[in-house]
Structure 1
């Protein structure tokens, strides 16, 4: 008697991915999206303020506000702090919605095509904005393009894609906006505790990121400043430095015979000793950098408007400032009339009562209220009345 032929067992067929995990639902996505939308709104508004203070259009250059003196420190601190928090929020948001990337067919209707387009634009622009911003505050630029104009342009793409996404998803957002909304009745009741735990964990993660970075601009929390790229108390004369004299190409030989040249209807030049002999003004003003850190410091020097008056500048004149540094996007800077005439805008010669260190702009630098740090020009050698 022959043995029966063994049955060949066919291998199991591969199945498409099944996303049966909980919390990949519209209610969770809406709950996280509220926080993420608020973070992006703050980033967008404060980013516009930062951009137009650094690159004012010609029609606004003479009317930018110099008050409050801490205005830029506040808005840029919010911009960077909220942007860092948005990284955590964006990652969780993507986790909640990623199963929808695998829906089939990919395009079911015109409305569905618009929704997919808005999602593609939103994800790409949002990921680019938060991570390029993160690399910018670390001053690492692994790309061939200029950061500022590209980051600014993509911010408009992100804002537009968010508005398009909200418009397309409005019915679903409305249905799942609150616990009592009709849409939540369709969701499993047992998901409620897990969703609350997720949101509590997300809030704790955002809080941890904020507490360990915001100290670079909110100095009472400087002791918790563990993850931020700058600490407000570290650097020459207890003040951070982004660009040293050596990095700017400013050598001791260039400073040896330094003179300040002021060009206008009545041009003149002054040595460092002659500047120190002029009436001095002391002001406590923040130095606030685009990377998000800011520190209040006591500056001493000559008011810029006094130097312009001595050159015969008319009351409405602006000023062009040129640095000794050999290159850089901000080697030449212009100030509108409101900044130039402000009594707190100084050609600073001292910091905390001591002569400026070379890395802080010795022999003279600009310090002005409500002004981005990149425009507080160091190693000033020329003032021109415009």
Structure 2
């Protein structure tokens, strides 16, 4: 009878380095895409002061692509991470726990890597559903742990490089040393993992890749569901925006020659239409027809200099994104509008009535709704 103090035995034959290396390659690609696109999203949402004026407003679909890839790769990472952990978890019970300095470094890197990876995937997945069952702010913590995960991956790769190299391909020395009869089972397992990753991706990616929208069985949103055929993340009621009547609304535009405009005066200014996507950080996006006044025209109206940027202030009473800023590239882009209409109809309250900001290549949280003030910035 085995003592309860001894580590358990694992008889499964596929808990080997070849299986771990194969799944690790796919997981590494998913993590790399997710990390790179996450950096892009973070820079667009929180640009450093030196970069803010020159952030590019083109291509129009830029943020829609990168954030769609971010969420898709994160979703694909869920079954890949679970399969990877299944492959290597017997090593968590290896004894003695620490055999050398190198082994201690390896185990420490694995502990941090597993914790960071599980945290990133779990919190990112809950963010797509806008469910935040924790006391901390999601964005800064998710961003910080992403760097921790990236560093842990690099350290782990450095420590495990010899073993990875020995089991990289079918003809690699480490792979050839494994029992030949395990080959078919291993290939079946890898095929099942790949199918699972493909299935969860295809059934969620339609929320941003609209040709696949009819397959969004597991996505938290459908891109067609919402007022005017467009989803809504934050309603007017949730934002604390009450009834705004046309006769009482005023838009204040600061600058060398500040102006206060009524809604009728905005409607009487030259109107332009642009087909632009709205892409939210949670992963959904959809293109729509927006019509309104060019922000550049409003800047000219108040005598703003060519290099000026804009700060948009919402009428909502609370919220982390009630104020957004854009540099000169966005402010002077002819597609950047203070929109009054969506898909041929007047904006609904939940879409930002009476006026909202819409600009190309910009995160949805920065497309400020219920705009009551535009401030010219240096």
TM-score (norm 1): 0.96
Q: Distance in 2 between matches of 1:67 and 1:12?
A: 66
2:370 counterpart of 1:379: yes
Q: Distance in 2 between matches of 1:256 and 1:301?
A: 18
Note the residue ranges of structure 1 that are not aligned, 5 or more in a row: 1-10
- Picking from 147, 152, 162, the partner of 2:143 is 152
2:126 counterpart of 1:138: no
1:292 paired residue number: 283
Further displaced range: 342-351 or 255-264: 255-264
- Picking from 164, 181, 202, the partner of 1:211 is 202
- Classify 1:260/1:92 alpha carbon distance in 2 versus 1 (closer, same or farther; 3 Å): same
Shift of 1:73: 0.3
Asked whether the 8 Å contact 2:275–2:287 carries over to 1, the reply is: yes
**1:181-330 aligned within 5 A:** 181-252=172-243, 257-330=248-321
Task: Write the deviation string for residues 6-52 of structure 1: whole angstroms up to 9, x where unpaired.
Answer: xxxxx775564111111000000000000000000000000000000
- Picking from 68, 72, 79, the partner of 1:88 is 79
Q: Distance in 2 between matches of 1:358 and 1:27?
A: 56
Shift of 1:209: 0.2
- Picking from 104, 110, 113, the partner of 1:122 is 113
- Classify 1:84/1:255 alpha carbon distance in 2 versus 1 (closer, same or farther; 3 Å): farther
Task: Write the deviation string for residues 254-304 of structure 1: whole angstroms up to 9, x where unpaired.
Answer: 766111110111001111111111101100000000001000000000000
Shift of 1:85: 0.6
Equivalent position SS for 1:246: coil
1:351 paired residue number: 342
Asked whether the 8 Å contact 2:246–2:263 carries over to 1, the reply is: no
**1:12-51 aligned within 5 A:** 14=4, 16-51=7-42
Matched length: 376
- Classify 1:12/1:176 alpha carbon distance in 2 versus 1 (closer, same or farther; 3 Å): closer
1:110 paired residue number: 101
TM-score (norm 2): 0.98
Further displaced range: 199-208 or 253-262: 253-262
Q: Distance in 2 between matches of 1:290 and 1:253?
A: 27
Q: Distance in 2 between matches of 1:12 and 1:224?
A: 51
Q: Which runs of 4+ in 1 moved over 6 A?
A: none
Further displaced range: 253-262 or 290-299: 253-262
Note the residue ranges of structure 2 that are not aligned, 5 or more in a row: none
Root-mean-square deviation (CA), in Å? 1.1
